[in-house]
Amino acid sequence: MAVVLLILGILMFIGLVVFHEWGHFIAARRNGVDIEEFGIGFPPRAWARKTKGGFEFSLNWLPIGGFVRMKGENDAASEKGSFGAASLSAKAKIMLAGVTMNLLAAFVIFTALAWVGMPQLLENQYAVKSDTKVVHRELLVGYVQDGSPAAKAGLHVRDKLVSLGGQQVSSAQQLPAYTKQHAGQTVPVVYERDGNALTTNVHLRTDKEAKGTAYLGLSPTEYTLTRATWSAPVQSLGLMWQFTTATFKGIGVAIGALFQGDTATASEQVSGPVGIIVVLHDGSLLGYQFVLLIIGAISLSLAIMNVLPIPALDGGRFYVLLLSRLFGKKLSQEMEERIVGASFVFLLLLIVLITIVDVKRFF
């Protein structure tokens, strides 16, 4: 089941980018800009056909999203039906349509989750308390200390703790109280891994051996699902605001750390394709709700990234367009290609660096 959820998660992630591009496609056609190609994936091309709408639909070998190729995409183009010939308001609608689609996708996903079971990921996660109830709670292993009794007994991160010494455990508060009470004793631990119930014996640390640390040597984490009814859309908007605030806070921490030369702290605030796959893999072990929450958060992150002033992305190109209008002159095709090309190279280098950091972090 986890493998199926992982594959679905990856397909949904690719679908988010395609959905983003579909927004550009719709906005362009509604504003009189001709579409030359709508592609899923990136070249080299695997297959293509001419549609009745007059544009090419293509499938490409690199499964990392999609693209829309419009007629005369540079601002200086003047041919009828070209992007360059469109009005400033039309260009703004086209450029920001992808952001709108990602925001819409996040809203729909979070609303659906609020109805069927919303994972509690953030501290004080937004909810209308009068319309929200806990429908599922389980205690998971969040961290295992090297050389600890838990590690020696073979407990792993994400194992579901069922009972200790015959006593059921369902909250993180129960664990330290029980282990302190039975310090120095050997107790049976029942846990679940990949749906299988397992039992192991753990010799807890004594008071002297613990010295203020955990007797069992692990940190528990609660996995909780809540459900709402009429307030689901409100909860969705509240969660989107919390995620957005947290994202900008993380960006601020990363930029501040870079200026201080603290690359380690800066790298902790970002993640790339490898990190996304790892998170989807871990989430797939917790069920479809967690995978959907990750996909919704990624969709929101794509919207946020595409409003930042990065010329290779939608928001950056829009800001460059506005600046050129402030100076009263359209950008030449050559200048626009230089700006976008340079920022795109920078973006690719950044993705490579983030990927290297993710590989070191996770593997």
| Per-residue model confidence (pLDDT) at position 185 | 86
Which amino acid, 113? L
* pLDDT band for position 215 (cuts 50, 70, 90): confident
Residue 22, pLDDT > 70, answer yes
Confidence of residue 328 (pLDDT cuts 50, 70, 90): confident
Residue 43: asked if its preceding bond is cis (omega within 30°), the reply is: no
Tens digit of pLDDT for each residue in 27-55?
A: 999 999 999 999 998 889 999 999 998 99
- Domains of the chain from N-terminus onward: 2-34+71-120+245-362 (no CATH), 132-226 (2.30.42.10)
Place of tokens 């989750």: 113
Mean pLDDT in the chain? 85
Q: Does the predicted TM-score (pTM) go above 0.75?
A: yes
pLDDT at 118: 95
Question: Which residue type does 298 have?
Answer: I
pLDDT in tens, 146-167: 888 888 888 888 888 888 888 8
Question: In 329-341, which positions are buried (b, 16+ CB within 10 angstroms) versus exposed (e)?
Answer: ebbeeeebeebbe
Q: Using a CB cutoff of 8 Å and minimum separation of 24, what contacts does 140-147 make?
A: 140/220, 140/221, 140/222, 140/223, 141/191, 141/218, 141/219, 141/220, 141/221, 142/218, 142/219, 142/220, 142/221, 143/218, 143/219, 144/217, 144/218, 145/213, 145/214, 145/217, 145/218, 147/217
- Is the CB of residue 64 less than 8 Å from the CB of residue 351? no
- Is 228's pLDDT higher than 90? yes
Q: Say whether pLDDT at 196 is over 70.
A: yes
pLDDT the model gives residue 213: 67
Structure confidence at residue 28 (pLDDT): 95
Q: Taking the CA of residue 233 as centre, how many other CA atoms within 13 Å lie in the half-sphere pointing to its CB? A: 2
Q: Is the pLDDT of residue 277 over 90?
A: no
